[in-house]
Amino acid sequence: MLKFYYNAAPNPMKVALLLEELGLPYEPVPVDTRKGEQFSAEYLKVNPNAKVPAIVDGDVRMFDSNAILLFLADREKRFVPLDTKSAARGDMLAWLMFIASGIGPFSGQSVHFRNVAPEPKEYALNRYDFEANRHWKLIEDRLAGSRYMLGEEYSIVDMAFWGWARLVPFVLGTGDATWTTYPQIKRLLDEINTRPAAARAEALKTRHAFKTENDDEAKRFMFPQNERLKKK
C-alpha cells in the first residue's frame, strides 16, 4: 500500500486532496516537524531533503508535492491533460510550476517574516509580502476568466492552489478583508471545499496530534539556520 508521509502544512494537504480524489488506498504516516522527525535516519531514506510530503509506493519513492501530484495524476490518467503536445498540457505545466516556484515559496516567506523572524525585518517582510500579493493577484486574474485554473476542467493545478489558498488571509496578514481583494480565489476555494475529497483530506489533520507549540525545540528543528547565528 502507498505510504503518504505528511503533516498539516499546505504542501502535504494538496497531495492528501489528490489521494482522496483518486480514491487510492494509502497509509498516512505523520511526520512531526516540530519534533524533528523529518531528520530521522529512516525518513531521510525517503526524502533526503527532510521535508514533507513524500510517498513510497512499491519501488517508487518521491518527494516534492507538485512532483507527486503530477506523477500520480499521470499514472492514474485523471485530473491532468494527457496529450503531451497539447496547449492544455502546456498550461497545466506552466501553472503547476508557477505554484511550486512562486506561490509556495513567497507565501511561506511572507508567513515567516511576518510572524517568526526577529527585528529588524521591514525590508524582508516588504519584499515577500509584495511578491506574495503579486503572485496571488496573477491567480486572481486567471480565475476572473476561468472557472478553474485550466478552464472548465478541475485538475491537479486546482489541488495545488487549494493547499495554499486555504491560508491566504494568514499568508498576507489581512484577515477577512483578504476576500474583498481576491474574490475569485475565494470562489474557487469555497467550491473545492464542498467536495467530499476535500473534507476527507482536512479530516486527516485530526488523525494525529501534531505538536503546535513553537518552543525552543520546535524553532531548532524548524529553523536550523539560526544555529549559525549563535556562533557569531
What is the tens place of the pLDDT at every residue in 118-160?
A: 899 999 999 999 999 999 999 999 999 999 999 999 999 999 9
- Please, which residues have CB within 8 angstroms of residue 3's CB and are 6 or more apart in sequence? 26, 27, 29, 55, 56, 57
CA distance 163 to 92: 17
Domain ranges of the chain: 2-79+200-221, 87-195
pLDDT recorded at residue 142: 98
**pLDDT at res. 205:** 87
Enter the C-alpha cell of residue 168: 491566504
- pLDDT at 180 (0 to 100): 98
Q: Record the pTM.
A: 0.95
Instruction: Label residue 23 left, alpha or beta by phi (over 0 means left) and psi (-120 to 50 means alpha).
Output: left
pLDDT for res 226: 82
Averaged over successive runs of 10 residues, the pLDDT of the chain (232 residues) comes to 97 98 98 97 97 97 98 98 97 98 98 93 97 98 98 98 98 96 98 98 92 88 84 64
Q: What are phi and psi of 60, to 5 degrees?
A: -90, 125
CATH number for the region 87-195 comes to 1.20.1050.10
Strands across the sheet containing 26-30: 26-30, 2-6, 54-57, 60-63
Stated as kind and residue range, the H or E segment containing 89 is helix 87-98
The neighbour count for residue 12, using CB atoms within 10 Å, is: 26
pLDDT of residue 232: 59
Tally DSSP H helices, then E strands, for the chain: 13, 4
- Given 3.30.70.2340, 3.40.640.10, 3.40.50.11900, 3.40.30.10, which CATH number is that of 2-79+200-221? 3.40.30.10
